[in-house]
Amino acid sequence: MKISIVGAGYVGLVTGGCLAELGHQVMCIDSDAAKVATLNAAGLPIYEPGLQELMARNRAEGRIHFTTDMAQAVEHGEVIFIAVGTPSKEDGSADLQHVLAVATQIGRHLKKFKVIVNKSTVPVGTAYRVQKCLQDELNKRGIQESLFEVISNPEFLKEGAAIKDFMHPDRIVIGLDASPNYNTVHQKMELLYSSFNRHHARTIWMDVRSAELTKYAANAMLATRISFMNEIANLADLMGADVDSVRRGIGADARIGHGFLYAGTGYGGSCFPKDTRALIQTALDCGSQMKVVTAVENVNDHQKTLLVNRLIQNFGEDLSGLKFAIWGMAFKPNTDDMRDAPSIAIVQTLLDAGAIVHAHDPEGMEEAAKILPDVVMADSAYSAAQDAYAVALVTEWDAYRALDLKKLHAAMAGDVLVDLRNIYRPEEAQAAGFNYVSVGR
């Protein structure tokens, strides 16, 4: 099929690359000309494992193209995905300006029937607003005919494992309302995703509003598990229990399962913080309250102060002239994405207290340097830690899992190792001479 994807970011590029891999003819359009130039020069504007190879293969086969030209993209795709950003507004609600601007731009160029698929994470009712923008543009051009159907197909991929998630989805949620176009649209979407439904049906069909809400409910549920475990970990610390044992003990219960039960720095990233905030705001807008999700957010905010509090216990409130090392800046391993990364709040608090911060991240340092220009980026985990008073492991990249703790200890000026991901065994770190701090152990 011919597919167009508006927004060549983490979701748009993975969706485009994977659909091209399945044999579809894909055109990705982005308003950022520099991004499109990079893509057209065989580069990638983001880091995602496997994406470079996937793109190279499909570029070579002529199945994927990149443009800034909306007219060309609208002409090309019989199905047009919207995959632009929906960041938080100041009040926490989702900022829909990019989604609605894209709808207006598509409307300007529509000449024949297209399925408009909203893949961005958007509050309930957005499909209707997209539809209105499209229709307004058609009306301006004097076109009364129904030239589109707006449907919802939220994305559940995880950065760092995005290609695997897209190619092996647990489920594909499609929200499609009753309309004269229902059968045509249903058939097109069945065809588009047919390779995923061969073994057993993975597509869950529902109405548009339910699909929009499903995405927020999924992220809020995952965020809830994280905050819940962080509270259990903090209690374990106070009571002398080990949160890792508790995690295994509850995860073995089939009703609970093992996923998303790790205590740590609190969630960050491009989705959970903004999506929980938006869900809370959506409820307020309709006179209701998301009490659980509000608590989840409060616990998460508190968790981010944990590291700094532990350091203050050791060094006092004035950290002037003391060097600290941070391992892992991206919000999770295997991405360069710094949006809402827990490292930002942690580093900023250290800098505000006068500390000198050196950091290392296998892929995220370029992005991190844009946000935290006062941090010295080091070329290895060891060089970041050289002469440091404390090291904090913030993001659990594989590169930090088996470091030589004795060598590390010898290179440092101090002996504090704050392991916010519970990677090392306390006995091992203590044997290497560290004053070792982890979460809930």
**Tokens standing for residue 215:** 């995405």
Backbone phi, psi, residue 37, to 5°: -65, -45
Q: Which residues contact 93 (CB under 8 A, 6 or more apart)?
A: 123, 277, 278, 281, 282, 285
* Side chain identity, residue 395: T
Q: Verify binding: residue 38, ligand NAD, rule CB under 6 A.
A: no
Where in 258-287 is the site for ligand NAD (CB under 6 A)?
Answer: 270-271
Kindly give the pairing relationship between strand 79-82 and strand 64-67: unpaired
Considering only the stretches 26-34, 179-187, 317-325, 387-395, report the one whose residues sit in contact with ligand NAD under the rule CB under 6 A: 26-34
Residues pairing with 25 in the sheet: 2
Smallest distance, Å, CB 190 to ligand NAD? 22
- Among candidate residues 18, 28, 133, 271, the one labeled active-site is 271
Q: Verify binding: residue 157, ligand NAD, rule CB under 6 A.
A: yes
- C-alpha–C-alpha distance, residues 210 and 101, integer Å: 23
Binder among 1, 25, 31, 49 for ligand NAD (CB under 6 A):
31
Q: Which residues of 327-345 are buried (b: 16+ CB within 10 A; e: fewer)?
A: bbbbbbbbbbbbbbbbbbb
Smallest distance, Å, CB 271 to ligand NAD? 5
Considering only the stretches 5-13, 185-193, 200-208, 259-267, report the one whose residues sit in contact with ligand NAD under the rule CB under 6 A: 5-13
Q: Which residues contact 187 (CB under 8 A, 6 or more apart)?
A: none
271 catalytic? Reply is: yes
Nearer to ligand NAD, 102 or 378 (CB): 102
Q: Verify binding: residue 164, ligand NAD, rule CB under 6 A.
A: no
Nearer to ligand NAD, 104 or 314 (CB): 104
Say if CB 58 and CB 21 are below 8 A apart. yes
Q: Verify binding: residue 338, ligand NAD, rule CB under 6 A.
A: no
Number of residues that bind ligand NAD (CB under 6 A): 26
Nearer to ligand NAD, 29 or 418 (CB): 29
Binder among 118, 120, 230, 349 for ligand NAD (CB under 6 A):
120
Sign of CA dihedral 193, 196, 201, 204: negative
Say if CB 15 and CB 81 are below 8 A apart. yes
Q: Verify binding: residue 10, ligand NAD, rule CB under 6 A.
A: yes
What are the residue numbers of the active site? 271
> Which residues are near ligand NAD by CB under 6 A?
6-12, 29-32, 35, 83-86, 98, 101-102, 120-121, 155, 157, 159, 270-271
